[in-house]
Amino acid sequence: MTKPVPRTRIQRKNIALISEAALSVFSTHGFRGSTVDQIAREANLSKPNLLYYFPSKEAIHQHLLSMLMDTWLAPLKALQDDGEPLEEILTYMRRKLQMSRDHPRESRLFANEIVQGAPRIMDMLETELKELVDEKAKVIEAWMAAGKLAPSDPYHLIFSIWSLTQHYADFDAQVHAVLGPGHDDPFPEAETYLTTLFTRLLQP
């Protein structure tokens, strides 16, 4: 796969450079649409030099995905059984929205991959992700059963949080085209809108 663990300072630096460049390139062109030359240019390295650190284009992509998966799932992992239900959900939503704002490239990297059928991460979706979602769905279901949240389908609730928050990163081009040039940063409005939405949906 990737280099085991970076040993030298130079390795750490260059692997970071490559990851950063690859994230930009893969997130805007998808896997097949990106070229090694493009990534190398963006990282200010020669192509053979880049391939000295990663054995192949696929390896870079794989490395990014597994590196970022944890970051990506962190907000859901943080959803606490013992918190105040509505507040927990709203916090989760806000954290996801914040990730869309702060890490739009990561969001688009995953979006590209999944829209195209997730050929390279189906594994992780079916294991790591599914298990986490199953676990948290149970927590939410328990809240609903206890009358602390209005009843609804916990899986679709989670899907709706993903879709609504990631929309602002993944479909950024469309959001900006529709809102027009005068409009900047839709995130504050989005947060207000989504807070209202989930509050009305979930308040018992």
Partner DNA sequence: ATTCCTTTTGACCTTTTGGTCAAAGCCGAG
Partner DNA sequence: CTCGGCTTTGACCAAAAGGTCAAAAGGAAT
Residues that bind a second copy (CB under 8 A): 28-33, 108, 111-112, 114-118, 122, 125-126, 129-130, 133, 150, 152-153, 155-157, 159-160, 162-164, 166-168, 170-171, 173-175, 177-180, 186, 189-190, 192-194, 196-197, 200-201
Phi, psi of 4, rounded to the nearest 5 degrees: -40, -75
Q: How far is the CB of 103 from a second copy (least distance, A)?
A: 15
Please report the DSSP string for 52-114 in residue order.
HHSSSHHHHHHHHHHHHHHHHHHHHHT--TTS-HHHHHHHHHHHHHHHHHH-HHHHHHHHHHH
* Interaction between residue 51 and DNA (CB under 7 A): yes
The token pair that represents 100 in the structure block: 């869309």
9-17 contacts: CB < 8 A, separation 24 or more?
Answer: 11/53, 14/43, 14/45, 14/49, 14/53, 15/53, 17/43, 17/44, 17/45
Q: How far is the CB of 165 from a second copy (least distance, A)?
A: 9
* Interaction between residue 16 and DNA (CB under 7 A): no
Nearer to a second copy, 49 or 58 (CB): 58
Q: How far is the CB of 82 from a second copy (least distance, A)?
A: 24
Q: Find where tokens 């979006």 sit.
A: 111
Q: How far is the CB of 174 from a second copy (least distance, A)?
A: 5
Instruction: Say how far apart CA 113 and CA 129 lie, in whole Å.
Output: 15
**Residue 34 three-state SS:** coil
Residue 10 contact among a second copy, DNA, none, beta carbon within 5 to 8 Å by kind:
DNA
Q: How far is the CB of 15 from DNA (least distance, A)?
A: 10
Residue 1 contact among DNA, a second copy, none, beta carbon within 5 to 8 Å by kind:
none
